[in-house]
Amino acid sequence: MDKLFPLIGDPLPQLKVKTTHGPMTLPDDMKGKWFVLFSHPADFTPVCTTEFVAFQKRIDEFRALNCELIGLSLDQIFSHIKWVEWIKEKTGVAIEFPIIADFGDIAKQLGMIHPGKGGNTVRAVFIIDPDGIVRIIFYYPQELGRNIDEIIRAVKGMQVSDLNSVAIPAGWPNNELIKDRVIIPPAQSVKDAQERLKQYEGFDWWFCHKSL
């Protein structure tokens, strides 16, 4: 069966987009950076407004991770511009990241429109690495706003995993079992399994962990 949208591990398809910061080509214009491409149902809606403020309030945390933000919805560019002006006027928060104006082609290509939830984009999140590869995908319905801190945690966790060749436990860095430690990859041989607990701390040879 043909895929309807890129999956984890796939390259993000080439997208020529119109944004509030001018035309962009993705992922090329973000090469060498992580970025979060996220869709929201519509401009001038309450939950989306709270999300945009939350993203902007944490933009320095994203940038400290070499990660940029890009929004998208099925609204024209003038609507995005006016909404950004409204957010600044009413909340005092200036949105610094670009917002893509889409007539549906990009949203359909990325699986952001779910017919069972209407004709607007759902709250999709694609986390893309510096090579343009999709690393994480989240989907939320229109009625539930996202937890932006979890998106930051996800970016940070993937970077730690890539750099150290480890897996990241639930709730990291505050896991109930191993706190801020990370998990050693599975043993690849009987000999490796027998040596694991001599090399690392753990509950068993298949569940070893270490500090960074």
* Catalytic residue set: 48
Q: Residue 207: enclosing H or E segment and its boundaries? A: strand 207-210
**Residue 82 exposure: Cα atoms within 13 Å on the Cβ side:** 9
Amino acid identity at 108: K
Q: What is the DSSP letter of 67?
A: E
> Residue 3's CB: how many other CB atoms inside 10 A?
8
Q: Which residue has the tokens 């398809």?
A: 13
Give which of 117, 110, 168 is closest to 140, Cα–Cα: 117
What are 201's strand-pairing partners? 209
CA 80 to each of CA 32, 73, 85, 100, 157: distance values in angstroms, whole numbers, following the listed order = 27, 9, 9, 8, 31
